[in-house]
Amino acid sequence: MDKIAVFWGPDKDFDNAIKDLSSSKRLIDVLDIIDEKISSLGIFAPLAFICLEILQIVAAFVPGAPVEILGGVLFGGFWGAILCFAGIFTGWYSLL
């Protein structure tokens, strides 16, 4: 129990920690839905993923890490990283 308190911080109790875990499960469900949608696009899946990565850069409400993890899951480590960099640099360049 002490490890949970240290991990979640001194001001949260166990119930709040459980709520945080359930919200993480919802995030995983959302990523599964996005995975299915992007995978169903076939040859256009890399382009859709780059657009998702651009959205992640331009819109601050989209978290970064889950999108990059999704790229690795969908396209493998090497191609996922290449597509992530392509989307990140394109999104960054569009903000200039």
Kindly report, residue by residue over 11-57, the tens digit of the pLDDT.
455 455 545 545 566 767 777 787 788 888 888 999 999 998 998 88
d(CA 74, CA 38) in angstroms, rounded, equals: 9
- Higher per-residue confidence, 3 vs 77: 77
